[in-house]
């Protein structure tokens, strides 16, 4: 029976090279070996997990980065957590740098809050704690029945700005929408830079149906008793896209938590170029970069896209040299060490603003 002297083990919930890269960096910083396990898909696509060593009475940390196949990654995490629970692990802590389904955290018409469902599934599988980075909405922590440590990547991205962007003092922080203004303001205040906010939209897309601007319908067809006559609601109308703030002759740094479909970022970059910005950077924590994102970035006015390694994106980097990576394994490793030793996590949140 191989019991770790340190009293904890770190496992990866995915056996692919791209997904174990972050896990290996974390274990190297901790000075421990990655736990021995096998995670694979059977011929019928069922997920199977085989833990190769004893975990009885230990703190177990499961690192799961989310690749292209999100649902498979979730099943891998659930099955591994349950396998460790039935193997008598003392505590099972999920290290999920990018929490999937975090955008589905609000009710949309007759939809569902999938993020709440996932939180319940993780608790049922046996997880007792979660470490994540930059949740899409901080209120997601309230969906869980156990502790959630929502770490921040902003110190690493700010350090990159200060060390890798020449003449960053001539930059302005840009929020690509009013909803991102608080995050951008936090960056601007710590870097002592100006702030600009994009408002409106370049064109109407199919996703506009979700924000309620076409509800209620213009014509009403009712039969029988209609009940109370409610005041007619006016449909939303967004103005053409404008820039609130001066970006002329400046470096524009767009900050956000997720960069996935990049059409909005490309459109924002074009507007900023028209307004006189001579360089455009994008800083985001999670680089999902789905579909044709690398090609669109390469062909756009964007000079550089900087993301962390919370999500594997090596393939996208090969397709687009403009994509750069910042390593956040240091803060994840320190969080694991502090949780296992029962130390305060306050040090990891020093100088972190509420709006980060």
Q: CA-CA distance, 311 to 325, in Å (whole number)?
A: 10
Q: Shortest CA distance to 125 belongs to which of 171, 93, 162, 166? A: 93
Q: Which residues contact 141 (CB under 8 A, 6 or more apart)?
A: 135, 148, 150
Q: CA-CA distance, 69 to 142, in Å (whole number)?
A: 26
Q: Which H/E stretch holds residue 40?
A: strand 37-41
Q: What is the pLDDT along the chain (356 residues), one digit of tens a residue?
A: 344 445 899 999 987 777 789 999 999 999 999 999 999 889 998 999 999 999 999 999 999 998 778 999 999 999 999 999 999 999 999 999 999 999 988 888 888 999 999 999 999 999 999 999 999 999 999 999 999 999 999 999 999 999 999 999 999 999 998 889 999 999 999 999 999 999 877 555 444 445 555 555 555 555 555 667 778 777 777 777 789 899 999 999 999 999 998 999 999 999 999 999 999 999 999 999 988 999 999 999 999 999 999 999 999 999 999 999 999 999 999 999 999 999 999 999 887 777 67
* Whether the Cβ atoms of residue 289 and residue 260 lie closer than 8 Å to each other: yes
> What is the pLDDT at residue 215?
52
The pTM for the full model equals: 0.88
- For the chain, helix (H) and strand (E) counts, in that order, are 9, 14
Using N-to-C axis directions, what is the helix angle for 154-164 and 181-191, rounded to 10°?
50
DSSP states along 148-183: EEEE--HHHHHHHHHHHSTTGGGEEEEESSGGGHHH
Q: CA-CA distance, 126 to 103, in Å (whole number)?
A: 24
Question: Residue 297, Cα to own-chain centre: how many angstroms?
Answer: 19
Using CA atoms in the order 253, 257, 260, 266, what is the torsion angle rounded to 10 degrees? -20
User: Which phi and psi angles does 151 have, rounded to 5°?
Assistant: -70, 165
Longest dimension (CA), the chain: 75
Q: CA-CA distance, 2 to 137, in Å (whole number)?
A: 41
CA 20, 25, 26: angle at the middle one, nearest 5? 95
> What is the pLDDT at residue 221?
53
**Alpha-carbon dihedral sign for residues 134, 139, 144, 148:** positive
Question: Residue 221, Cα to own-chain centre: how many angstroms?
Answer: 43
Q: CA-CA distance, 115 to 113, in Å (whole number)?
A: 5
DSSP states along 269-290: HHHHHHTT-SEEEEEEEEE---
Neighbours of 327 (CB within 10 A): 12
> What is the pLDDT at residue 181?
92
Q: CA-CA distance, 26 to 170, in Å (whole number)?
A: 35
């Amino acid at each position: 029976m191989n019991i770790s002297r340190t009293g904890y083990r770190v496992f990866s919930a995915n056996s692919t090279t791209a997904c174990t890269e972050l896990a290996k960096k974390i274990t190297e910083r901790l000075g421990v070996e990655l736990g021995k396990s096998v995670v694979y898909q059977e011929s019928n696509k069922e997920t199977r997990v085989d833990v190769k060593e004893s975990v009885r009475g230990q703190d177990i940390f499961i690192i799961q980065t989310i690749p292209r196949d999100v649902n498979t990654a979730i099943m891998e995490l659930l099955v591994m957590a349950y396998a460790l629970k039935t193997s008598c692990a003392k505590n099972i802590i999920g290290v999920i740098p990018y929490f999937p389904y975090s955008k589905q955290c609000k009710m949309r018409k007759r939809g569902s809050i999938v993020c709440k469902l996932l939180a319940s599934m993780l608790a049922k599988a046996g997880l007792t704690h979660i470490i994540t980075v930059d949740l899409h909405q901080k209120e997601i922590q309230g969906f869980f029945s156990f502790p959630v440590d929502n770490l921040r990547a902003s110190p690493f991205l700010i350090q990159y700005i200060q060390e890798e962007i020449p003449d960053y003092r001539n930059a302005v922080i840009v929020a690509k929408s009013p909803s991102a203004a608080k995050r951008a303001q936090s960056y601007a205040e710590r870097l002592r830079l100006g702030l600009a906010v994009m408002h409106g939209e370049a064109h109407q897309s199919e996703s506009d149906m979700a924000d309620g601007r076409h509800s209620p319908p213009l014509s009403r067809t009712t039969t029988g008793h209609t009940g109370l006559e409610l005041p007619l609601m006016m449909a939303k109308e967004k103005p053409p896209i404008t820039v609130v703030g001066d970006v002329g002759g400046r470096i524009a740094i767009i900050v956000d938590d997720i960069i996935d479909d990049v059409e909005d970022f490309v459109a924002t970059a074009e507007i900023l170029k028209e307004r006189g910005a001579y360089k455009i950077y994008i800083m985001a924590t999670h680089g999902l970069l789905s579909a044709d994102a690398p090609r669109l970035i390469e062909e756009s006015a964007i000079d550089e896209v900087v993301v962390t390694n919370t999500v594997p994106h090596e393939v996208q980097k090969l397709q687009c040299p403009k994509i750069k990576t910042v390593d956040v394994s240091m803060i994840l490793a320190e969080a694991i060490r502090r949780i296992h030793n029962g130390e305060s996590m306050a040090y990891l949140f020093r100088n972190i603003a509420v709006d980060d």
